[in-house]
Amino acid sequence: MKKLVPDFFAMKEKKEKITMLTAYDYPSARWAEEAGVDMILVGDSLGNVVLGYDSTVPVTMEDMIHHTKAVRRGAPETFVVTDMPFMTYATVEDALRNGARIIQEGGADAVKLEGGEHFAPIVEALVNSGIPVVGHIGLTPQTTTQLGGFKVQGKDLESARRLLRDAEALDRAGIFALTLEAIPLEVAKTISEKISAPTIGIGAGSYCDGQVLVFHDMLGIFDRFKPKFVKVYADLKSHGIEGIRNYVKEVKEGTFPDNTQHTYAASEDLQGKLYGD
Ligand code: KIV
């Protein structure tokens, strides 16, 4: 049965870990649903792993809506969260207009946005308008230029305290989950204990209330770079390339298609009469 917002709070209460996985299209969403993930994230990481950009910054609202629709069709029974792209939630007005599009046109159940305390009024406006929100702090890929690259955040006392302040402000503003990306596990533990919303970690250790991974990373499809926090559970790239190589080889040598298995034979009536003979 599809889980809804109160179920995620109940899972935190019961100390039942929440599983989240990204998906970007119909087949990946079907796999995620069949495997039983609690929540799907249509992450703007699609810019990297599906569209081949160097960052998530070029991803547009149209991209997110297009991919969310496909995910919704593939996983009708799973809670779907969609990332709001860079600069689509800079003002309350933009956030409400774009958040509404993600829910109404895309069919997502909730939106996710990157940023701390400063974004609390935006979160509050979305939640008050009926749009559930997941926060995202720590390493925020939309602003890596300001962060100085893909770096672990919250390593010193001052920045760790800032993360805690951000988490508490977003919690008060009404988020129902908080993604913690690339922060020390002790910092993630404290945040998880201090806020009421479940924390969903990626590179934030095992004390978070749940975990998220990127589909293409954990299945070994995307290998342009591999952060330390990724565990590869299957090597689909090697299997895929091996399959394609075999196909190329068999076509070249004439063993595929096999005329008894993969081909349609004409009826006896038709045979020999095609050119009027
Ligand atoms: O876009 C994404 O996939 C994400 C995850 C890394 C949490 O934000």
Residue 148's pLDDT band, with cuts at 50, 70 and 90, is confident
* pLDDT of 217 strictly over 70: yes
- Answer yes or no: is the C-beta of 114 below 6 A from any ligand 1 atom: no
For the chain, give the percent of residues with pLDDT over 70. Answer: 99
Identity of the amino acid at 164:
L
Residues 6 or more apart from 19 whose CB is under 8 A from it? 36, 37, 38, 39, 210, 211
Nearest atom, ligand 1, residue 141 CA: 8
The predicted pLDDT at position 53 comes to 96
Q: Is the pLDDT of residue 277 over 60?
A: no
State the residue for tokens 């925020």.
140
| CATH level 3 topology of 5-234 | TIM Barrel (3.20.20)
Q: What is the pTM of this model?
A: 0.95
pLDDT tens by residue, 81-123: 999 999 999 999 999 999 999 999 999 999 999 999 999 999 9
Ligand 1 closest atom vs CA 56: 1
Selecting among 158, 181, 186, 193, the annotated active-site residue is 181
Q: Specify the domain boundaries for CATH 3.20.20.60 within the chain.
A: 5-234
Average pLDDT over residues 206-227: 95
By most ligand atoms within 8 Å of CB, the mutation choice from 42, 44, 142 for ligand 1 is 44
Quick one: which atom of ligand 1 is closest to the CA of 44?
A: 1
The continuous run of DSSP H or E covering 127 comes out as helix 120-128
What tens digit of pLDDT does each residue of 1-58 get?
Answer: 999 999 999 999 999 999 999 999 999 999 999 999 999 999 999 999 999 999 999 9
CA of 35 to the centre of ligand 1 (A): 19
The answer to whether the beta carbons of residues 225 and 54 sit under 8 Å apart is no
> pLDDT tens digits for 249-259?
999 999 999 99
How close is the Cα of 255 to the center of ligand 1, in Å? 43
Best mutation site among 46, 56, 80, 83 for ligand 1 pocket (most ligand atoms within 8 Å of CB): 83
50 vs 64: CA distance, rounded Å: 12
Q: With CA atoms as reference, report the closest residue to 164 among 152, 180, 149, 175.
A: 180
Band (pLDDT 50/70/90 cuts) for residue 225 is: confident
CA–CA distance, 249 with 251 (Å, rounded to integer): 6
**Is position 181 annotated as part of the catalytic site?**
yes
User: Residue 108 is encoded by which pair of tokens?
Assistant: 């997502």
> Which residues lie below 8 Å from residue 76, measured CB to CB, with a gap of 6+?
33
Q: Is 199 in the pocket of ligand 1 (CB under 6 A)?
A: no
- In this prediction, residue 132 has a pLDDT band, given cuts at 50, 70 and 90, of very high
